[in-house]
Chains A and B, each alone.
Chain A
Amino acid sequence: MTTEPNGLTTDIGERRVSFVVSEDLYALDVIQGAAYLFLDRCYLFLDRPADRQVAVVLKAKGETDAAALDALAGEFANELLNQALRKAIGASNAKIREFILAKALFSVDAPSSIDKLLAELDAEEMEPLEIPVPWEAEK
């Protein structure tokens, strides 16, 4: 078991590295966000050794060594930070995003579909119906 300078305590075994993440530091959706990005690179397993603790197990899909596993754990830790930052920025920008989206949607100067249909209907009414009439037109 080794403790990195960033405080991440990793346990490296055969083809696998594991560590525990506290939900007091990283919310579960942040941990899941990081895990999602590693699904294609390695086998992932999450477990709950204690309340508000998530054990993360990363297992290499092929042959590897301790240095590579240590690097993998480090990358996961970096991704945890990245996901936490994205979440914080997303939350702080939520109002601005909603405002920009609403402005974009409602500022488009296009005729409504109902207006367009009514205009088409008016145009059709102006055209002759092409039904023969039994009377002669006035001359």
Chain B
Amino acid sequence: MSDAADIVVRLHRSLYPPAAVARAAERFAAFGPAVTEGDADVRVAFSTVPDRLRDRLPDEFRNHALFEAIVAARVEAP
């Protein structure tokens, strides 16, 4: 395991709504995600990431967040 919150993923909130990011973060609960919202972006800090997943986890998470963002956009579409 790595030390506290050393992997941070930043996502622009105009492309990744906070609710969608939060849903994606729920799936990654095992890695201790902490979601914080800024004016322009949503940041997700992972606190418990095994060393062998350090390279892959941010990329995997971004895909899940994008999926949730697309699903949310389609639900909201008229």
Contact = CB atoms under 8 A, between A and B. Distances in A.
Interface of A: 28-29, 32-33, 35-36, 39, 43-48, 54, 59
Interface string B51-63: 0000000011011
B4 interface: no
Given A29-B73, A29-B77, A32-B69, A48 B15 contact: yes
Contacts, number: 37
19 contacts: A28-B15, A28-B73, A29-B73, A33-B70, A36-B67, A39-B63, A39-B66, A43-B62, A44-B62, A44-B63, A44-B66, A45-B59, A45-B66, A46-B12, A46-B15, A46-B16, A47-B15, A48-B15, A59-B59
Query: Which of A29, A32, A35, A45 counts the most chain B CB atoms within 10 A?
Result: A45
Given A36-B67, A46-B15, 18 more contacts: A28-B73, A33-B70, A35-B66, A35-B70, A39-B66, A39-B67, A43-B59, A43-B63, A44-B62, A44-B63, A46-B12, A46-B16, A46-B66, A47-B12, A47-B15, A48-B12, A48-B14, A54-B15
A32 B73 contact: yes
B59 to A, nearest CB: 4
Contacts of B59: 43, 45, 59
Contacts of A33: 70
B63 A32 contact: no
A45 B14 contact: no
A36 B63 CA distance: 9
Nearest to B14: A48
B75 to A, nearest CB: 12
Contacts of B12: 46-48
A25 B53 CA distance: 37
Rank and list the top 10 A-B pairs by shortest CB-CB distance, nearest first. Answer: A43-B59, A48-B12, A32-B70, A46-B15, A45-B62, A36-B70, A39-B63, A44-B66, A47-B12, A48-B14
Contacts of A59: 59
A25 B8 CA distance: 32
